[in-house]
Structure 1
């Protein structure tokens, strides 16, 4: 279990670094990166409804499937801003995994797939 957790931390760091490099490569505004980096955490507001719905909403915005889907759409329609947002959100997920924050279980906000916070 500890080894798996370390791998997730390392994976998150690699994703974070790759997204920073990619964002720099597309040469988009860094002020946007700074402003939007923590926006996915607004999904925590779902917990106001209840823990089950909160976990679903939070997890939806903290999975690579969501951000890769955004990137595919952005590339398909040639939308530079949407591509930048997908990179920023992916960087956020990588940052979270690096710090030990994981997907949430419906039992409570502090119960994650990585550890109990």
Structure 2
């Protein structure tokens, strides 16, 4: 029978030696970690930075919003006309960084425009067309997508410059000068 593999000291019976997930006793010599093999094909997917991936995804969502707007028969500039309306959420920063982050994040999460779009679709399905609601939802999603593509992510309570996508503005410039990058 194979010896049990204990993940932590709490799992191991009293007096037994802790075993690692590889089955070796703790403290035993371990083989060097395996390195990923060199790419065997030029078509292999490269390792992507999660922040870069989110920014590219956001750019795709922004393009999709323009396509949906034009395909629905509305002018593309309607997205630009409504663009700054959603940044009124930054007024929350007048109450402090935490309140500002909450207000900003509520207005810059895809949840509310998705709910608004669902209401517009449900209304259209029931025969009550509320076109402006759909345009508002798409414009809102467009705004969020452009912000994220440019690196303006959801805010933390530390201040406006601290986002889930990294530092922006003065905080980023200050860090790059102190890091020597």
The verdict on a shared fold, with TM-score over 0.5 as the criterion, is: yes
Q: 1:37 aligns with which of 76, 79, 83?
A: 83
Q: RMSD between aligned alpha carbons? A: 1.3
1:25 to 67, 71, 82: 71
The number of residue pairs the alignment matches comes to: 116
| Unpaired segments ≥5 residues, structure 2 | 1-47, 125-129, 169-181
Equivalent residue in structure 2 for 1:103, among 147, 154, 163? 154
Q: CA deviation at 1:51?
A: 1.1
Structure 1 outlier segments of 4+, above 3 Å: none
- What does residue range 51-70 of structure 1 map to in structure 2 within 5 Å? 51-70=97-116
- What is the TM-score normalised by the length of structure 2? 0.61
Q: List per-residue Cα deviations over 1:57-93 (Å, max 9, x = no partner).
A: 1001101111101101111223110100100010111
Cα offset for 1:30?
3.8
Aligned partner of residue 100 in structure 1, secondary structure: coil
TM-score (norm 1): 0.93
Structure with the bigger RCO (C-alpha within 8 Å, sep 6+) is 1
Deviations 1:25-71 (CA, angstroms, capped at 9, x unpaired) = 11124443221012111110110011111111100110111110110
Q: Which consecutive unaligned segments of at least 5 residues does structure 1 have?
A: none
Q: SS of the residue aligned with 1:101?
A: coil
